[in-house]
Amino acid sequence: MAVYTRINSEDMAALVAEFGVGELVSAKGIAEGVSNSNWLLETRGTPDAGRFILTVYEERTDTRDLPFFLDLLDHLAAAGCPVPRTIHDAGGSASRTIDTPQGEKMLALIEFLPGVSADDPTPAQAHAVGAALAQVHLAGQGFEGFRKDGMGPDAWRGFVRDCAGRWGEIDPALEGVPALVDDAIADWPDDLPVSTIHADLFPDNVLLVGDDVSGMIDFYFACTGPMAYDIAVTHAAWSFSPDGRRFNPAIGDALLGGYGSVRMPDARERAALPALAQAACLRFLLTRAYDWLNTPADAMVTRKDPLAFLRRHAFYRQQGAALFGALD
């Protein structure tokens, strides 16, 4: 999450009033993340008052996909998955527009869920995350919406072109990324079971109360895709130190064990996981590199190091075949 769009206090209060959740008390910009502008809101004065997340959708989010994202939250919540419900305005809409200096943008209001993200997750927490991910995959198979993965293999060469000639501005070690991308696209499996997947389940997108998952958030990269790829993304996101230098096998095994306790991947999925883990690393390396080179200097946003996923990729390339035994 981040803040690119600025909204003054009067306009923010008027926006909140349209959703019937009480009078705005406070609005705090959220700096983490890189995709959309977000605020934590607090309201008072009505039975529906409380805390909410207001999101203004920026360039990377195709607002034509908003019905998919918001309907998905409603579907998963109805299925008992730990996800936030959407808040509808007086006209029954889950999204609306706002005029900004950059033009008209879409926004949505979503309930705030209790819990905190784990900076240093325990195996018990990782097990719960794996189980919750499997729950989403099972529920997602009943979701009628379809969305292609806009950050999947078909998009990767576009990011390579956008970063061409500039890898060295980040680090010369990234010069070999285009060849790695070619290999990953050639090795991408086409015959794996699919569902609606989160595709971005990093620790900061999971809320925990103790060892329990209280919320899975930020579904704005959710799409229709291989469930095994989502397992690989989550494994890469949770099982390493943030800089990608240290792998924690206890976390990785607990995550996989939790997933398998709810849904056991089939043999094809298990065999594909090492290659999919490398592919997942490249997906995040590419978007981090693009953001590193293109984030406005005055944006209230934290840039993330692409090298953290180059290190993960090297680890999976060397040892990936031995890492997914918890699903055997």
pLDDT in tens, 270-289: 999 999 999 999 999 999 99
Q: What percent of the chain has pLDDT over 70?
A: 96
Q: Strand, coil or helix: what is 220?
A: coil
The architecture CATH gives domain 9-111: 2-Layer Sandwich (3.30)
User: Are the beta carbons of 115 and 214 closer than 8 angstroms?
Assistant: yes
pLDDT-derived band at 1 (thresholds 50, 70, 90) equals very low
CA 73 distance to own-chain centroid:
14
User: Is pLDDT of 313 > 50?
Assistant: yes
Task: State the average pLDDT for the chain.
Answer: 93
Identify the CA nearest to 179 among candidates 79, 96, 282.
282
Specify the domain boundaries for CATH 3.90.1200.10 within the chain.
123-327
Q: How far apart are CA 131 and CA 325, in angstroms?
A: 17
CA 199 to chain centroid, in Å, comes to 6
pTM attached to this predicted model = 0.89
Q: Is the dihedral of CA 8, 9, 14, 18 positive or negative?
A: positive
Of 19-33, 134-148, 252-266, minimum mean pLDDT range:
19-33
CATH 3.30.200.20 maps onto the chain at 9-111
pLDDT of residue 13: 94
The pLDDT-based confidence of 179 (bands split at 50, 70, 90) is very high
For 186-214, the pLDDT digits (tens) are 999 989 999 999 999 999 999 999 999 99
Tokens at residue 125, please?
A: 């927490």
Query: 3.40.50.720, 3.90.1200.10, 3.30.70.20, 3.40.50.1010: which CATH number matches 123-327?
Result: 3.90.1200.10
pLDDT in tens, 39-55: 999 999 999 999 999 99
